[in-house]
């Protein structure tokens, strides 16, 4: 069950098109998995449209006339420009780890080709870096059963979307589809006890800051960790 959703404000700004690229893809990918938020976005969009297109200024008619006649000379769009289907190939919308396939939400599929190889980290943790093409450090992170990330705080912000499985972080328990936002105020130590482990997609804008025990030793290297 999805318990953690983007805020109403985030959903509204998503509908408006004014979120940053990172926030927009995280909210959009969450909506791919969350019917409730899809509905919120749909009704926000409707409200915004009504609001935005309510006012106008009646000048400019000659320019509009020229525009109108140039538009109506355009041919209708070719219906055959529908995307050709790649039958039988699934690699475009899934990522693989250790023989297991994970189907990604629609929004994240653009990154399949931009995902690097999995590498093993401490604590039964795997990560595959994603080249977003815009600012933000993104990774697919897989926690094997019992896998954990050392306790840390965030210097910047961290968005995490649970793609498959469950994990706990000492604050909450998260399930598939949950949208998690963390910043400097939060300290957490993610850990998965799900039999099949847990796959998440995470974007941070600053290196993590480790707070406990030996993991503190990681701090000088944290820019290498989750990069």
Partner 1 sequence: MLVGIPLEQSNSAIKPKECATEMSEYIVTVAEKRCKKSFARVFGYFAPRLRSYALKQMGNEALAMELVQDTMSNVWQKAHLFNAEKGSPSTWIFTIARNIRFDMLRKLQNRKEDVCSDDLWPVLCEQTPDANETSLDEQITLEQIGFLFEALPVKQKAVIEAIYIDGKSQQEVADELSIPLGTVKSRTRLALQRLKGMLNSHDQVSS
How far apart are the C-alpha atoms of 168 and 200, rounded to whole Å?
Answer: 12
Q: Which of 10, 12, 107, 160 binds partner 1 (CB under 8 A)?
A: 107
Q: Which is nearer to Zn ion, 40 or 215 (CB)?
A: 40
Residue 4 near partner 1 by CB under 8 A: no
What residues numbered 156-215 form the site for partner 1, per CB under 8 A? Answer: 164-165, 176, 194-196
- Separation in Å, CA 220 to CA 111, 194, 217, 223, 224: 29, 31, 7, 7, 9
Q: Which is nearer to partner 1, 1 or 214 (CB)?
A: 1
Q: Which is nearer to partner 1, 136 or 190 (CB)?
A: 136
Q: Which is nearer to partner 1, 84 or 117 (CB)?
A: 84
Binding mask 71-90 for partner 1 (x = CB under 8 A): xxxxxxx-x-xxxxxxxx-x
Give the β-pairing of 100-103 and 208-210. unpaired
Q: Which is nearer to partner 1, 94 or 172 (CB)?
A: 94
The answer to whether the Cα torsion of 9, 46, 178, 113 is positive or negative is negative
Q: Which does 181 bind (CB under 5 to 8 A by kind): partner 1, Zn ion, none?
A: none
What residues numbered 9-38 form the site for partner 1, per CB under 8 A? Answer: 14, 16-17, 21, 24-25, 28, 32-33, 35
How far apart are the C-alpha atoms of 40 and 179, rounded to whole Å?
Answer: 15
Contact positions toward partner 1, by CB under 8 A?
A: 1, 14, 16-17, 21, 24-25, 28, 32-33, 35, 42, 45-46, 48-50, 52-58, 60-61, 63-65, 67-77, 79, 81-88, 90, 92-94, 101-103, 106-107, 109-110, 132-134, 164-165, 176, 194-196
């Amino acid at each position: 069950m999805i318990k953690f959703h983007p805020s109403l404000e985030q959903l509204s700004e998503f509908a408006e098109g004014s979120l940053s690229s990172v926030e927009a893809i995280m909210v959009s990918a969450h909506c791919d998995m969350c019917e409730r938020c899809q509905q919120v976005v749909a009704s926000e969009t409707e409200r915004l449209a009504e609001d935005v297109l309510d006012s106008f200024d009646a000048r400019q008619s000659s320019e509009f006339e020229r525009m109108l006649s140039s538009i109506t000379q355009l041919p209708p769009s070719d219906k055959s420009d529908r995307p050709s289907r790649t039958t039988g190939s699934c690699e475009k919308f899934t990522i693989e780890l250790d023989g297991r396939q994970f189907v990604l939400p629609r929004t994240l599929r653009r990154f399949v080709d931009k995902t690097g190889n999995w590498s093993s980290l401490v604590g039964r943790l795997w990560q595959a870096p994603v080249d977003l093409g815009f600012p933000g450090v993104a990774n697919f992170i897989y926690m094997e059963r019992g896998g954990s990330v050392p306790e840390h705080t965030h210097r910047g912000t961290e968005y995490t979307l649970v793609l498959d499985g469950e994990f706990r972080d000492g604050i909450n328990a998260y399930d598939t589809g949950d949208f998690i936002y963390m910043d400097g105020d939060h300290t957490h130590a993610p850990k998965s006890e799900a039999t099949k482990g847990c796959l998440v997609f995470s974007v941070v804008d600053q290196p993590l800051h480790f707070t406990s025990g030996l993991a503190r030793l990681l701090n000088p290297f944290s820019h290498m960790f989750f990069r």
